[in-house]
Structure formats: structure tokens, C-alpha cells
Amino acid sequence: MNPMSRFDTFLFDLDGTLLDSVGDLVTSINLLRREFDLAALDRPTVASYVGDGANLLVQRALPNGFYRDEHLLRFLAIYQEHLTEETVPFPGIIPFLEACSDKALAVVTNKPIALTLPLLDQLGLQRFFPVVIGGDSAPTKKPDPAPVRLALERLGKTPDSAVMIGDHINDLLAGQAAGTTTCFCNWGMGSHRGTPRDLEADKPTDLQQLLLG
């Protein structure tokens, strides 16, 4: 029997895992910085700030001590206007999702739910995910396991049959703490920082062989 066949539940991070969204995040961060006469940040710098939710993204993108709550609200308003100008699913993601028709799928992201749902809808991905957990759907964000546990609860699934799939250390830590298998994605914006992971995929097309056999 294929050892991967025991998995019937796949939980996906969003940015850097399902979606190449860094271009629109860079645009939105730099539009915010421009309002304060701050120089633009380059793509790798902004990408390195992603993964811990919009609040920390904005804090990291502004000078030390500069951040105020209204800056987050302004960033979210700007980003909503540029949500899918450049953002696309990574090549190979949609075929993999289509091959998972007999699996239970969910998104577990630190992005606010009010941005996550329209993003999935505009890119035609919402049909794959009966459960979507945003960064404000549970009391805490990844790396805390609460969002992963909430996704499993809503899917009616158990951790032992689930894989948390993501490109960031937060995905690995949240999955491990929730009791799922973990799969790290090397094509994203994040880093595993040496954190143990059960599986590792170099490109999205590897997921089919790794997880479906």
C-alpha cells in the first residue's frame, strides 16, 4: 500500500504556497511607504517580511517606532485595491488541487479572512476549499496550532490523517503542534530555518507524487 494513502486531508498555507502574491504585496507596501515619503523596498525585502500576518508585515516595512494601528488599516485598504493585479497560483497548483477531488482541503493562512476570501474567489480557487481559516478566524495565528485545529474541526477530520503544507516555519510549527504531518514547500517566500519537516517539495508538481503517490 502507498504510505501516502493514509492522508485524506490537506491543509494549505496561502501566500508562497498556493499563490505567488509577492508582487501585489510589494506594490501595496511601497504605496503605503510613499504616503510617508519613504523610499521603496525591494521585492526580496518585502518577501522576507511575509508570513506572520498583515500587522507584522506593516510593522516590519515601516521604520522602528513609526507604526500605528491606522497604518495597518491603510495598508489593508491599499492592498484590497491591488489584490490580484499580479497574484497567480503557482504553476502546478491547480492540477494538484483538481487531483485531490477525494480529499478534504482547507486553507490555513495568517492573512486576514476579509482579504483571503475575495482573493480565492477572484482567482477561481474557492471551489476547492470548503473550509478557509484566516489570520483572524481563531484566537491566535500560526505558529500556534489553534488555526490548524479549527480547520480540522470544521472538516471533521483528525490530525493523523492530515498534512499541513506550507513555505514558512510557522506552517511547520503549527502543524507539528496540532499533530499533523508537515510538508515544506521550497518555492515560497519563507524558510524552514532548520525546523524538522516530514516531507519536502521543491516545486508544486512534486506534491502529486509526494502526497498522492
Positions annotated as catalytic residues are 13
* Cα dist from 190 to 13, 154, 193, whole Å: 11, 27, 9
- For residues 194 and 58, what is the distance between their CA atoms, to the nearest angstrom? 26
Q: Within a 10 A sphere around the Cβ of 82, how many other Cβ atoms?
A: 16
* Of 211, 207, 213, residue with least CA distance to 93: 207
- Which residue do the cell numbers 487531483 mark? 99
Q: Which helix (H) or strand (E) holds 59?
A: helix 54-61
Pair 19, 123: CB distance under 8 Å:
yes
* Of 207, 191, 187, residue with least CA distance to 199: 207
* Of 23, 36, 31, 54, residue with least CA distance to 134: 54
